[in-house]
Structure 1
Amino acid sequence: MSEYFQIIKGKISDLKVIDTSLAVFGSGALNGLPAISQALIGDNLAAASQVATSNRYEDESDFLNSVQYFTCKIGNLEVRGIFCRAFFRNGDQVEVVVEPCDEDGYFAYALRRPIDHRLWLYPWAMKGSKANNKDALKNVGLFILSIYLCNLVLIIVASNNLDDFVFGVSIITPLYILLFLIGYFWYKKLLGGGSKEADKIFATLGYPDPKTVDMEKEILEVFINNKSTSDPDFYFDTTTEEYLRKDPDGVKWVTFYREAPPIPDYITVIDTELDDNLEDNRI
């Protein structure tokens, strides 16, 4: 398996979107999404529609699992994928990070729209693996430490002598270490479920250190770090129709980026506008 994806450039056409749920594609089996999505290729919209209908009531109350399955064409190439909300449109000029499917077409892991610096990402793939580990360590560590210190104060107050204090500390310390480990690995699994895909996505897009990329911090850099949409040197044109479109409800794993790094020469890039008759050559 290649350590990089491929990139398809061009305009979106024949876009179709179906509401569904991550639960449909396997319990936590994010790595299986490309293979499972191929089951929908033959009659993809009918199959996805049945899936969405049969799970409608569960999906409505499941914010984390709510996603959209989409199919479209970039030039003559068929692309399908699963994003939280596929609110790009026909005619949008995009760069799509893809992997060839076993039979035909491509599965999308990310979609970048340069005109307004939007980036749609594979579920849970907002951070590289190192960034996710660091975030888990920080958030879980601070939470557990704050509770531990509160309990330590209570032990000091309740202790009549040094022996009582030592006994109390010896009881709660292993307990909180265990709670930290449970919380740390749970956080990594839940919020970092797409980190391996994120590493590969960001490497394909040319980020120098893809494992440390954190798009949650990137969006803060876009709008907060000495920048505003009224700044004439803002990162992108905020008067475009694409930027002014209202986002749908429930958006997650969709972000803004500051400046796109150059795509490395060793990445396979298919520019569908260089040849309007380009066929799916399964590179």
Structure 2
Amino acid sequence: MSDYFQIIKGKISDLKVIDTSLAVFGSGALNGLPTIGHAVMGDNLAAASQVATSNRYEDESDFLNSVQYFTCKIGNLEVRGVFCRAFFRNGDQVEVVVEPCDEDGYFAYALRRPIDHRLWLYPWAMKGSKANSRAALKSVGLLILPIYLCILVATIAVSNDLGFFIFGFCISTLMCTLFFFIGYFGYKKLLGGGSKEADKIFATLGYPDPKTVDMEKEFLEVFMNKPESDPDFYVDTTTEEYRQEVPDGVKWVTFYCEAPPIPDYITVIDTELDDNLDDNGI
């Protein structure tokens, strides 16, 4: 299995989007293989019906908030995938991170639109694996540490002798350590247990240290804190795409900063190059 995906460049056409409640992504992995299998094979009605009649994953469905399955063409290549909100449009010039399907076409793991620096990502793939672990460690640590310190202070306050203090210290340390690991692995899974896909996506896009990439942090630190009037703002905020109304419930869609160059060893299919026109039947 390759450590990298491929990239297809070109314009979107024949875009079809199906609203679903596809709660089949166990921590970013394709656990609902029958449903996804129907979708990837193009049996859209069977996929939609199967999802609509399933209530096993009600909580996950609420969390996903109507994931959308889409199919489109880039040049003459069939591309399909699942994002939270597929609000890109026909005619958009895009770069799609893909993996060839077993039968035909490609499955999309990320799609970026250079004109407005918008980036759609595979569910739970906003952070690389190291960034995901650090976020979970920080969040759970900030929750457990104050509780642990409060328990220690209370133990000291009520301790009558050294033996009682040692007993209380050991019990509180053991319990807080246990809750820390439960919270850490649980929250890590919630933040992005599927971040191995993120590692592969960011490696394909040319990020020098893909495991540490954190698109949420990049968006908050740069785009939220940088005024649009700043002459160095590197997105043209007057474009129709940037001003496009964003649908409700968007997850795993962000803006990226300056894109790193795509490495030479990545397979890039540019559907608008002369060399590819005949191959694509255009």
TM-based fold match above 0.5: yes
Structure 2 match to 1:237: 236
CA contact (8 A) 1:11 1:92 kept: yes
Deviation, structure 1 residue 170: 1.4
Structure 1 match to 2:128: 128
In structure 1, what residue type is equivalent to 2:50? V
Q: Which sits farther off after the overlay, 88-97 or 141-150?
A: 141-150
In structure 1, what residue type is equivalent to 2:161? N
CA contact (8 A) 2:30 2:36 kept: no
In structure 2, what residue type is equivalent to 1:211? K
CA contact (8 A) 1:60 1:66 kept: no
**What secondary structure, in the 3-state scheme, does the structure 1 residue paired with 2:62 have?**
coil
CA RMSD of aligned residues (A): 2.3
For the residues of structure 2 that align with 1:34 and 1:270, how far apart are their CA atoms? Answer: 28
- Which whole-Å deviations, capped at 9, do the CAs of 1:52-88 have from their partners, x for residues lacking one? 4324894896123631110000000000001111111
Equivalences for residues 15-164 of structure 1 within 5 A: 15-23=15-23, 25=24, 27-28=26-27, 30-31=29-30, 37-55=36-54, 58=58, 62-64=62-64, 66-164=66-164
Uncovered stretches (5+) of structure 2, i.e. residues with no partner:
none
CA contact (8 A) 1:34 1:101 kept: no
CA contact (8 A) 1:75 1:278 kept: no
Deviation, structure 1 residue 279: 2.6
Q: Which sits farther off after the overlay, 29-38 or 100-109?
A: 29-38
C-alpha change, 1:244 and 1:267, in structure 2 (3 Å) is: same
Structure 2 match to 1:278: 279
Equivalences for residues 155-174 of structure 1 within 5 A: 155-174=155-174
In structure 2, what residue type is equivalent to 1:158? V
Deviation, structure 1 residue 178: 0.8
For the residues of structure 1 that align with 2:250 and 2:71, how far apart are their CA atoms? Answer: 19
CA contact (8 A) 1:69 1:83 kept: yes
For the residues of structure 1 that align with 2:219 and 2:41, how far apart are their CA atoms? Answer: 38
Deviation, structure 1 residue 31: 4.3
Deviation, structure 1 residue 164: 2.4
In structure 2, what residue type is equivalent to 1:249? D
**What secondary structure, in the 3-state scheme, does the structure 2 residue paired with 1:264 have?**
coil
CA contact (8 A) 2:27 2:189 kept: no
Structure 2 match to 1:221: 221
C-alpha change, 1:42 and 1:184, in structure 2 (3 Å) is: closer
Structure 2 match to 1:11: 11
For the residues of structure 2 that align with 1:130 and 1:277, how far apart are their CA atoms? Answer: 43
In structure 1, what residue type is equivalent to 2:52? T
For the residues of structure 1 that align with 2:114 and 2:12, how far apart are their CA atoms? Answer: 13
**What secondary structure, in the 3-state scheme, does the structure 2 residue paired with 1:98 have?**
strand
CA contact (8 A) 1:76 1:277 kept: no
In structure 1, what residue type is equivalent to 2:280? E
For the residues of structure 2 that align with 1:211 and 1:28, how far apart are their CA atoms? Answer: 17
For the residues of structure 1 that align with 2:186 and 2:267, how far apart are their CA atoms? Answer: 36
Deviation, structure 1 residue 21: 2.9
For the residues of structure 1 that align with 2:252 and 2:116, how far apart are their CA atoms? Answer: 16
Structure 2 match to 1:212: 212
CA contact (8 A) 1:96 1:110 kept: yes
For the residues of structure 1 that align with 2:88 and 2:257, how far apart are their CA atoms? Answer: 19
For the residues of structure 2 that align with 1:33 and 1:7, how far apart are their CA atoms? Answer: 25
Uncovered stretches (5+) of structure 1, i.e. residues with no partner:
none
For the residues of structure 2 that align with 1:95 and 1:118, how far apart are their CA atoms? Answer: 11
